[in-house]
């Protein structure tokens, strides 16, 4: 063999030896990634709400020490409003060895359950009735998740924390339509457990009147809770104006009511619910038996506070409340769909009656079902 050929062969062998470690490392890295727990997420569609849920999941997993490509493999697949594709996605997830499948939205959850997968299933974006139906269909297989259940305890707990001396919570109810009696019963039951008394404050939307009872409440012991779930058509500005005239503080159940003058409300949003899902997934990774736990109601995500109302009323918001993702509204900084300037409250409406009757008037017609 010539010296030239020998030199070429030596160089070829050396090149192979040099390349081997890099190829070995690349193969090893790919193999390691394939062995990471695979968390698969799907939804029938993808919109801003779903994106917020997914972002919350990612952030909660990171807080628990799980990063995509580091300790877990995380993938989201959108079915693009196609039920057939949604079923194919969950079957693919199972074939690829998903450790946990997360199904966001009711259609995706129902499709995943119908596939009778053996993979632990975490669902979200469903109501209590759907949750019970899915657990029954899933039978012994692992299914848990976060449900969109109405919670009438959280706002009362916020009231107790912000104004601990309050004894009575007056809740406006419509006299023109039937009140949500189940919601009122739930509110009364929890209020009793924290030593609060619930009183219904009759309001007529048709006649733009509020019960004269509002002027009989002691301001240092009473607040008004304007809950749009109980009274969807509530005349917000008029109720707030009447409460201000009676020196009563108003709490709300939604952000818009706070924008219009209520002191505070505790809100459940998609990002916070996503964080709750992420924490549940992290728990299942650590303790697989957690995949059989009862469905959990979505927890409140943040507190919104009207700074103007707080300053005017002299109420100091506790640091414990502000720490709960507290968001303070300042009138000058309001943008988007909310008014840029503080809404002008109308004059207090005339009283409904000098001697109001107990409870609410009989309904003339049952209102259409509200979207909750």
DSSP 216-228: GS-TTTEEEEE-T
Q: How confident is the model at residue 235 (pLDDT cuts 50, 70, 90)?
A: very high
Q: Measuring CA to CA, which residue among 109, 169, 167, 100 is closest to residue 135?
A: 109
Reading the block at residue 58, the tokens are 């990612």
Q: 53-62, 134-143, 311-320: lowest mean pLDDT where?
A: 134-143
How much is the mean pLDDT over the chain? Answer: 82
Domains delineated in the chain: 36-148+272-297 (3.40.50.2300), 154-261 (3.40.50.2300)
- The pLDDT of 337-349, averaged and rounded, is 49
Query: How long is the chain?
Result: 372
What is the pLDDT at residue 369?
Answer: 44
Instruction: Please answer whether residues 132 and 281 qualify as being in contact, where contact means their C-beta atoms are separated by less than 8 angstroms.
Output: no
Segment holding 28, helix H or strand E:
helix 3-34
Q: How far apart are the first and last CA of the chain?
A: 86
Instruction: Please answer whether residues 249 and 191 qualify as being in contact, where contact means their C-beta atoms are separated by less than 8 angstroms.
Output: no
Q: Which of 88-92, 139-143, 177-181, 313-317 has the highest mean pLDDT?
A: 88-92
What is the pLDDT at residue 262?
Answer: 94
Q: How confident is the model at residue 17 (pLDDT cuts 50, 70, 90)?
A: very low
What is the pLDDT at residue 327?
Answer: 67
What is the pLDDT at residue 371?
Answer: 43
């Amino acid at each position: 063999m010539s010296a030239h050929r020998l030199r070429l062969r030596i160089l070829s062998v050396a090149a192979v030896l040099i390349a081997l470690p890099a190829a070995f490392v690349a193969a090893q890295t790919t193999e390691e990634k394939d062995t990471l727990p695979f968390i698969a997420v799907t939804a029938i569609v993808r919109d801003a709400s779903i994106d917020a849920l997914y972002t919350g999941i990612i952030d909660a997993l990171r807080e628990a020490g799980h990063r995509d490509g580091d300790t877990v493999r995380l993938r989201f697949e959108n079915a693009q409003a196609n039920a057939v594709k949604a079923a194919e996605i969950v079957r693919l997830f199972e074939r690829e060895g998903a450790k946990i499948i997360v199904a966001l939205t009711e259609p995706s959850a129902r499709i995943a359950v119908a596939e009778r997968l053996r993979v632990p299933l975490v669902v979200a974006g469903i109501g209590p009735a759907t949750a019970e139906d899915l657990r029954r269909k899933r039978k012994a297989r692992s299914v848990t998740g976060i449900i969109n259940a109405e919670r009438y305890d959280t706002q009362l707990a916020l009231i107790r924390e912000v104004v601990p001396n309050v004894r009575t919570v007056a809740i406006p109810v419509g006299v023109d339509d039937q009140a949500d009696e189940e919601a009122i019963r739930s509110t009364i039951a929890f209020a009793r457990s924290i030593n609060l008394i619930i009183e219904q404050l009759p309001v007529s939307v048709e006649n733009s009147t509020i019960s004269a009872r509002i002027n009989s409440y002691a301001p240092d012991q009473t607040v008004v809770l304007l809950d749009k779930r109980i009274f969807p058509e509530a005349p917000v500005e008029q109720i707030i104006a009447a409460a201000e005239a009676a020196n009563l503080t108003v709490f709300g159940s939604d952000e818009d009511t706070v924008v219009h003058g209520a002191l505070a409300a505790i809100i459940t949003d998609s990002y916070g619910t996503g964080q709750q899902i992420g924490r549940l997934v992290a728990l299942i990774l650590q303790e697989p038996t957690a995949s059989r736990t009862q469905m959990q109601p979505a927890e409140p995500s943040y507190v919104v506070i009207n700074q103007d109302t707080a300053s005017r009323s002299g109420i100091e918001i506790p640091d414990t409340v502000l720490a709960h993702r507290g968001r303070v509204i300042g009138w000058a900084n309001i943008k988007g769909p909310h008014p840029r300037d503080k809404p002008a409250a109308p004059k207090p409406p005339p009283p409904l009656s000098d001697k109001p009757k107990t409870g609410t008037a009989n309904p003339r017609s049952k209102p259409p079902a509200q979207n909750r």
